[in-house]
């Protein structure tokens, strides 16, 4: 199930013109630039809390509570290494050139781990153990899966059967970042993935939990507990799995999603650590690429993925008024909250639109660069999780408005879960998404959500529904009315709501 080695060459090789200037044609030969042997100055941070195996004697008796799972298989003791090497080529001479850094990313499995065996009653196994992490992850994944199965069996929206998913409990992942700047200053930074959760797609889809860091345990960040004990985190990750499955249904790929995944293979995390944004900001070559990413269609596909995952978690948990009641997330990521921290509205008004399209990446967003934990008094609008949170809140408001008048006995979480997938499918089915730029992509994503709401509308009086549209999407409404739509107005919302 685990890949042994994957190498991605993200950027470029140097181009060297050979010989003197010819009169007719310039002969350009592509030569891979040889790596020098660098003497890296080394720093290290982010020590993970050790996650012990609870029952070391247990090697054969497989516990029922994990083998019961219909689609998940859990592993513990998985260890990986990631080496990222970044060599700045000509950043300072020509900052406008795209190929300003050569970046390689190697991902290696050091230890494949073993399946989780339970020799004791699962309920007495401590949370901060390998088995405890696996049990929590599985319970959350099962819950999210069960909602999916209920929607699929209902049959209103045709959905694929999900593949088997692997669960890697408290995976130990060492990250080595090597940077060489234009002055040949060579630095190496070692850290461990901590305080996060991730979905890795592809042929062996895997949900991964990482240990808590010593730092966050000491300062009681993220509630002072490992993330796998926080309700909703793996329902979110499972949402990414559903997203990929729907976007890949029947082998018909949604090209925009695949472009995004190929270019950004490790973005399906529960949250973006501040340290990684800071690292991007501190390296000119990376920063230039990242700023371009923020404006692009890929960024909005990524944000949609995050917003959908948050929604799936929210509906799985039956729409709690507070979600992820842990530092940094309670307001900004809670779907029920109409504002981010600092009171910035999640409605798509001129302010949010401007922030979205002018967002920069700061060197120290709300904390110091060697602080691996997010300190998010200020939402970071260059983060797909934040834009995704605005999508999730506003789209959920549309779904709520559409279901006004449904019988009090009906399960609105289930209906909204179905609507959220219907929305994804309508995005997938909409033509020419590839050709849209950032603004038009965002517009299309939100417009199709309103279209989904319209098709589920329970009442003949659309006044309340259209009032939500105008209050949650004022900047978009202006855009749609002005006719700057270029294929965005697929749902006919302008005429439906007489905007």
Residues near Zn ion, by CB under 5 A: 306, 309
Q: Kindly state the tokens that stand for 404.
A: 């006004």
CB of 198 to Zn ion, least distance (A): 8
Least distance (Å) from Zn ion to the CB of residue 236? 6
Strands 79-88 and 101-111: antiparallel
Q: Which is nearer to Zn ion, 88 or 306 (CB)?
A: 306
Minimum separation from the CB atom of position 388 to Zn ion (A) = 8
CA 56, chain centre distance (Å): 34
Query: Which is closer to Zn ion, CB of 130 or CB of 313?
Result: 313
Least distance to Zn ion, CB of residue 7, Å? 25
- Cα angle value 428/420/392 (rounded, 5°): 105
Q: Please spell the DSSP secondary structure of 434-479, one letter per residue.
A: GG--HHHHHHHHHHHHHHHHHHH---S--HHHHHHHHHH-HHHHHH
Which CB sits closer to Zn ion, 192 or 234? Answer: 234
Smallest distance, Zn ion to C-beta of residue 79, A: 23
Please say which residue, 227 or 309, places its beta carbon nearer to Zn ion: 309
Closest separation in Å from C-beta 61 to Zn ion: 35
Tokens of 410: 């009906």
Nearer to Zn ion, 264 or 375 (CB): 264
Structure tokens at 431: 């033509």
Task: State the maximum Cα–Cα separation within the chain, in Å, rounded to a whole number.
Answer: 81
Residue with smaller CB distance to Zn ion, 117 or 329: 329
DSSP-H helix ranges across 317-358: 350-358
Rounded CA gap, 207 and 212, in Å? Answer: 16
What's the min distance (Å) between Cβ of 275 and Zn ion? 17
CB of residue 386 to Zn ion, shortest distance in Å:
12
Closest C-alpha to 310, from 323, 299, 301, 327 = 323
How many whole angstroms separate alpha carbon 153 and alpha carbon 158?
Answer: 9
* CA 247 – CA 434 distance, rounded (Å): 14
As measured in angstroms, the least distance from the Cβ of 199 to Zn ion is 7
> In this structure, are residues 174 and 213 in contact, taking their beta carbons and an 8 Å threshold?
no
Q: For Zn ion, give the closer residue by CB, 238 or 340.
A: 238
Q: Tokens 């998985």, residue?
A: 78
Return the residue matching tokens 């408005």.
Answer: 401
Which one, 424 or 493, has the nearer CB to Zn ion? 424
Residue with smaller CB distance to Zn ion, 306 or 383: 306
**What are the DSSP calls for 295-311, one per residue?**
TSHHHHHHHHHHHHHHH
Half-sphere exposure (CA, 13 Å, Cβ side) for 457?
A: 19
Cα(401)–Cα(405) distance, integer angstroms: 9
From 460, 452, 490, 492, select the one nearest 157 (Cα to Cα).
452
Smallest separation, CB 270 to Zn ion (Å)? 5
Q: Which is nearer to Zn ion, 240 or 425 (by Cβ)?
A: 240
Report residue 294 as tokens. 């923020």
* Residues 297, 256 contacting (CB under 8 angstroms): yes
């Amino acid at each position: 199930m685990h890949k042994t080695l994957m190498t991605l060459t993200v950027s470029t090789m140097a181009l060297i013109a050979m010989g003197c200037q010819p009169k007719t044609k310039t002969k350009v030969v592509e030569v891979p630039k040889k790596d020098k042997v660098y003497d890296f100055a080394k720093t290290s941070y982010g020590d993970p809390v050790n996650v012990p195996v609870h029952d070391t004697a247990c090697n054969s008796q497989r516990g029922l509570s994990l083998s019961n799972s219909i689609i998940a298989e859990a592993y513990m003791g998985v260890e990986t290494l990631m080496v990222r090497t970044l060599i700045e080529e000509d950043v300072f001479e020509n900052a406008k050139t795209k190929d300003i850094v050569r970046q390689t990313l190697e991902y290696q499995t050091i230890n494949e781990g073993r399946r989780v065996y339970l020799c004791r009653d699962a309920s007495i196994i401590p949370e901060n153990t390998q088995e405890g992490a696996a049990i929590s992850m599985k319970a959350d994944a099962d819950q999210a899966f069960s909602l999916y199965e209920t929607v699929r069996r209902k049959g209103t929206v045709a959905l694929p059967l999900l593949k088997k998913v692997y669960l890697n409990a408290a995976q130990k992942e060492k990250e080595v970042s090597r940077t060489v700047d234009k002055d040949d200053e060579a630095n190496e930074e070692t850290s461990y993935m901590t305080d996060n959760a991730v979905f890795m797609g592809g042929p062996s889809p895997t949900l991964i939990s990482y240990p808590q860091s010593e730092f966050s345990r000491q300062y009681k960040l993220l509630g002072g507990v490992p993330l796998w004990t926080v309700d909703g985190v793996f329902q979110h990750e499972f949402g990414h799995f559903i997203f990929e499955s729907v976007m890949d249904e029947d082998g018909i790929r949604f090209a925009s999603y695949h472009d995004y995944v190929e270019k950004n293979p490790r973005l399906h995390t529960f949250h973006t650590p501040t340290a990684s944004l800071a690292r991007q900001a501190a390296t000119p070559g990376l920063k230039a690429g990242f700023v371009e990413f923020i404006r692009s269609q890929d960024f909005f596909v990524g944000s949609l993925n995050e917003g959908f995952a948050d929604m799936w978690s929210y509906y799985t948990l039956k729409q709690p008024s507070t979600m992820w009641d842990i530092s940094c997330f309670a307001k900004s990521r809670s779907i029920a909250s109409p504002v981010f921290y600092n009171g910035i509205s999640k409605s798509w008004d001129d302010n949010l639109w401007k922030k979205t399209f002018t967002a920069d990446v700061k060197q120290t967003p709300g904390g110091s660069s060697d602080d691996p934990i997010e300190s998010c008094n200020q939402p970071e609008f260059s983060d797909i999780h934040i834009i995704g949170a605005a999508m999730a809140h506003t789209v959920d408001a549309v779904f709520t408005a559409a279901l006004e008048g449904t019988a009090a006995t009906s399960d609105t979480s289930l209906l909204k879960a179905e609507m959220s997938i219907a929305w994804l499918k309508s995005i997938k089915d909409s033509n020419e998404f590839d050709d849209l730029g950032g603004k038009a992509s965002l517009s299309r994503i939100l417009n199709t959500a309103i279209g989904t709401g319209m098709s589920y509308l329970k009442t003949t009086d659309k006044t309340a529904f259209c009032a939500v549209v105008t209050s949650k999407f004022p900047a978009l409404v202006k855009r749609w009315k002005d006719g700057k739509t270029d294929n965005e107005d697929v749902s006919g919302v302008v005429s439906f709501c007489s905007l």
